Amino acid sequence: MTLMMSGLDCHRTPLDQRQRLAFSQSLTEEFLHWLRAQPGVEGCVLLSTCNRTELYLSGSAETPWRLLCRGAGVPEAEMEAYFTTRCGMDAARHLMEVSCGLHSQILGEDQIITQVRRAMELAQEAKTADPMLSALFRGAVTAGKRARTEVSVSRGSPSMGGRCRDLLIRALGPLEEKKILVIGNGQMGRLAAQLLREAGASVNVTLRTYRHGETVVPAGCGTVNYEDRLAAMENTDALVSATTSPHYTLTAEQLSQVQNPPKVAVDLAVPRDIDPECGKIIQCFDTDSLGFSGFGSPEELEAMRAIAAQEMERFAQWQKRQEISRKAPKFPLFVDLTGKKVVLVGGGTIAARRIATLRLFGCEIEVIAPELKCSPEGLHWQRRRYAHGDLKGAYLAIAATDSRETNHQVGVEAGELGIPVSVADCEGECTFYFPAVCTGENLIAGVVSGGKDHHRTARAAKAIRRALEELE
C-alpha cells in the first residue's frame, strides 16, 4: 500500500491562494467522505491550518493534489505550481517535521501539535483513517510533544497569538489600558485574547451564543454579542479577528459605518475574516504579515530533526511488522479458557458477538464499556471507559470499541503485559485473530481470514457448520 501526500504552505504559497484550499471542520468532514469514495483511496487525512493544507493518502489513488483541487472546486492548472508531493517515507518524514514545528512560521510553534492531532481525530470520526495513517499521525503527535518538551527553543513568541501581541505592541506601544476587540472565541481567538489581556489590554471577546458552564472566556476579558461587533469597535485601539467563518466578519462597507474605528486590525484567519479593502481605511495585517521566525540555531534544528527521524523509524518498524503479519498466517491454537479471565473492552455489536462466543468456553468475562448491547448476566461489567491498567491479570484481551485510539491503547497495554490481544479494527495490532467458531458433536473449528475479509469468513463458517452437522 502506497503512502502519498501533497501540500502547500505559507513558505511558497501566497495567502490569496492558500485560502482557496482552506477547509473548516465541517467542510473537512464532507471532503473526507467524498474522498474516501474515490477509486484507489484506502485512507485519507486532511491537515488544514492557517499556514498549510496537506492531504495524506494511502492506497493507489492518483496524485493527492489533484483530488484536493477537485474536491474544493478549484482549477488544477491554477494551483499545480504551488504543490509539493511526497511519497513513502519522504511523506512520513515531512509530517514528523511539521508536527515538530520545523516548517512553521514560528520554529516549534505550540499549536501545530493540536492541529495534527485534530486532523487525525476528524479522519477517525469520519472512518477514513486506516491503520497506516493512524499509526503515522500518532507518531507525528508524539514527535511534536517530544520536540516541545525536549528541545529548548530560544524564541520570543511560540504561537500566532504571541506574534499578534508583539505586532500590536510595535504598532501601538505598551498595551496597558489599550482597548482591543477580539472577534471569535475559538482556540486562536481565546489564545490571542488571553495574551493581550496578560499584556495589560482591556479586551472584549465576541460570542455568538453563551452557554453557562460550557462557554470559556479568558479570565479578565469582557464579552459582547457578535451581532454588536460594529458598535463594540467604536473607540477601540485595535481589532483582532480569528474565526472559521467562510464569510468576512468585517467588510469595508461595515467599517465605514464606525465613526471612531480601531487604528489597527489583525486578521488571524484563513480564509480571511477581514475584507482586504479595509486596509484603505485602517492599518491591516494578515497571518503572512506576522513574519517568520523559523530558522533556529543549528543545535535546535538538529535536535528537532533527530526526534522526527526517531519517530519516523518507529513508524517504519510498524510498517515492517504489518508486512510480516500479512505474509505469515496465524497458527491455529486451541486453548482451555476454563476459569481464565478474559478482558473485553467495548460493548457494541461486535463486542456482543465476541461475548456470545466466549460464553461457550467457561471463562470469566470482564467487560469494560459505558454501554452494553447484550445481557450482562454472568459477566463482570465495569460500566465505564477503558483506562490503562485494566488488563492486569487477564489471560486474553479483546479490543472492540468504536474508538481507534482506545483499541490501539488496549493493544499497546496487552503488548506490554505479554497478553494475547485481538484488536477488532486493526489486524496489524492483533497477536491473535478472534475466529468464527463452528461446533459439532465433540468437534470445534475456528475460521479466520487474516482479519480482512469478514464476509468470506462468514461464508466459510456457514459451510463448515453444515459439514459438522452432517457428521453427527
Active site residue ranges: 50
Q: What is the DSSP string of 186-211?
A: SHHHHHHHHHHHHTT-EEEEEES---
CB of 400 closer than 8 Å to CB of 434:
no
Q: Pick left, alpha or beta for residue 16 (phi over 0 → left; psi -120 to 50 → alpha; otherwise beta).
A: alpha
Q: What is the largest CA-CA distance in the chain?
A: 93
CB of 79 closer than 8 Å to CB of 69:
yes
* Residue 430, strand partner residues: none
Nearest C-alpha neighbor of 222 from the set 276, 254, 179: 179
Pairing of strands 238-241, 341-345: unpaired
Q: Any residues with CB less than 8 A from the CB of 286 and at least 6 apart, and which?
A: 15, 266, 267, 272, 274
Residue 84 CA: distances (Å) to CA of 13, 66, 99: 11, 12, 17
| Residue 198 grid cell | 496578560
- The phi and psi torsions of 238 (rounded to 5 degrees) equal -150, 155
Q: How far apart are CA 375 and CA 377, in angstroms?
A: 5
Pairing of strands 52-59, 41-48: antiparallel
**For residues 238-270, b (16+ Cβ closer than 10 Å) or e, as one string?**
bbbbbbbbeebbbebeebeebeebbebbbbbbb
Q: How far apart are CA 386 and CA 269, in angstroms?
A: 37
DSSP single-letter state for residue 379:
S
- At residue 461, the 3 state secondary structure works out as helix
- At residue 212, the 3 state secondary structure works out as coil
CB of 200 closer than 8 Å to CB of 223:
no
Residue 319 CA: distances (Å) to CA of 42, 136, 386, 412, 465: 16, 10, 27, 16, 36
Q: For 339-466, list the strands marked E by DSSP.
A: 341-345, 364-368, 380-382, 396-399, 421-423, 436-440, 443-447
